[in-house]
Amino acid sequence: MTAETINYISPNNVSEKAIASSKMPGGKYKPKDKKKEQKLLSIDFYSDTIVLCPKTWSTSPATMVRDISQTRFKHVAYERSHCKGRTVASQVKKLAKYKLTMNQRGTSGTFSTSSLLYYHFSRYFDTATIIPVAIYRDMDRNAHRDRVTRAGARRTSRGMIARGWNYLNSAEKNPNIYRPKRELFTSDGNIYGVLLRGKGARYGAEINGARKRRWGSPQNEEFQETAPYWALRTNKPLLEAMATGRRRTRSTVRKATGTVSNLQMFYWMRELTEIVLFDYIFSQQDRVGNIDYRWAWYWKKEGKVKSLWQPGKHSRRQSASLVPPDEIKDFSPILIQRTCLNDNDAGARVPYANFSKRTGMLSKLRHFSAKTYTKLIELNSDLQDEGPIYQYLHENFILDSGQHKQIVRNTQMATDILKDICLLDNLHFDLDNPKDFFLTGLPEERFLDCIAP
């Protein structure tokens, strides 16, 4: 499918574009992906019902896009007096987040193109991990500065978030001070970034790790000490590996994890292998602490597995009080966390620290999906031969030659690592078909040709 573009005009008579990229060759896109792209494309920043608010929490600047059509708020008054935090009135709808690139001294590293890469590559790999739809959006920099950036700079006073807003404020006045300029500004002087909307709440120590060590490699090493990660590192049949993973966790992680089902462990293990692979390929430097989840009910009915999302955000402790909806309670459903990867904006730039690579995350894996492995071999072959995906990477993402080459090189290295483990007969291909696993309680291990599966 070809790219779709919607054009907008700012009050300053500046042309803007919203673009849903063409689909990645070999990708599996669902109808709901198209619907979500259409919703993002249709957001007119200058509508009287749309307000833009600066994100003033965490570490990186962004614009929170909200719909006030069901309220009595007035557009200008809301942006002046009500854009002051995460909480919004019940009638105000959170539409999207508008993420820009920011990589200057003392700021938190963000690169908007990275979120687009994660979205489209997740559809190529058909991941179990939930990664949100994202589209390209540029905007009149003066309009953004007037409505968002100056307020962001005014309402933050310290830390990386304040430095980010201050740099953005200066750069929107004079784009030539930002380096490299092409990562934040279009050739005609607009700012650009991505629009996306992720769902979920932040995992605790059960997946993000205890986070007691300092940021960087130590915290990424600690990330590999959760129950599912220990299971992935255990060269035993799947059920034994799961049991080992539960035993090996330390007190903080064990307390956060609690007693979880084998289905929960299966999904966690599968999702972690995808996260590690993607972060390796895209040189992600800020993963630990940025993994989210949603609760879902799973049950068996007439020999098939059914599922239903549980509304709301609930911690693992709170989940104990959740009861299944009346329509499914007779099927004895179980509640599990499904992993959402919403924060993917610190990848793809060459200067970023690739902690998946630095801490040997891939080389420690002993369990993997046969489907993911096969898709990786195909991807690597295409990139090395400069095939359709190689060309797609050139044509659909704003990457310089170094960034493009890094993705190609990292894919080759990731492939070589997993091939070597496979050739040593140390890689169990037993993480496919989680629903079949739920039905039988028994893992299915496949045996692949490591070179040409």
How many whole angstroms separate alpha carbon 18 and alpha carbon 380? Answer: 30
Domain ranges of the chain: 4-196, 201-340, 359-440
What pLDDT was estimated at residue 403? 98
Within 8 A by CB and 6+ apart from 355, the residues are: 216, 217, 220, 279, 284, 285, 287, 288, 361
Reduced to 3 states (helix: H, G, I; strand: E, B; else coil), residue 251 is helix
The total number of residues written for the chain in this structure:
453
Backbone angles phi and psi of 337, in degrees to 5: -90, 130
Res 317 pLDDT > 90: no
* Torsion of Cα atoms, 234 then 235 then 239 then 245, to 10°: 0
**Across 205-230, average pLDDT:** 95
Categorize the per-residue pLDDT at 1 as very low, low, confident or very high, splitting at 50, 70 and 90. low
Helix (H) or strand (E) holding 293: strand 292-301
**Across 89-102, average pLDDT:** 96
Res 12 pLDDT > 70: yes
**Across 412-437, average pLDDT:** 98
Per-residue model confidence as pLDDT tens digits over 237-282: 999 999 999 999 988 999 999 999 999 999 999 999 999 999 999 9
Query: Residue 437 has what DSSP assignment?
Result: H
Res 2 pLDDT > 90: no
Res 50 pLDDT > 90: yes
CB-based burial label for 195 (10 Å; 0-12, 13-18, 19+): buried
Percent of the chain with pLDDT over 70: 100
Res 84 pLDDT > 90: no
Structure tokens at 231: 């299971």
Percent of the chain with pLDDT over 90: 96
C-alpha torsion sign, points 150, 188, 350, 346 = positive
Res 335 pLDDT > 80: yes
Per-residue model confidence as pLDDT tens digits over 166-198: 999 999 999 999 999 999 999 999 999 999 999
Structure tokens at 378: 């195909």
Which residue from 346, 446, 412, 309 is spatially nearest to 117, judged by alpha carbons? Answer: 346
pLDDT averaged over every residue in the chain: 96
What pLDDT was estimated at residue 89? 87
Looking at 197-274, which runs of residues are DSSP E strands? 201-202
Residue 382 one-letter amino acid: D
Per-residue model confidence as pLDDT tens digits over 97-137: 999 999 999 999 999 999 999 999 999 999 999 999 999 99
How many whole angstroms separate alpha carbon 55 and alpha carbon 152? Answer: 7
What pLDDT was estimated at residue 196? 98
Categorize the per-residue pLDDT at 85 as very low, low, confident or very high, splitting at 50, 70 and 90. confident
Res 87 pLDDT > 90: no
**Across 50-72, average pLDDT:** 96
How many whole angstroms separate alpha carbon 155 and alpha carbon 150? Answer: 9
Structure tokens at 424: 């040593």
Q: How far is CA 369 from CA 113, 250, 290, 434, 445, in A?
A: 27, 27, 23, 10, 9
**Across 288-309, average pLDDT:** 97
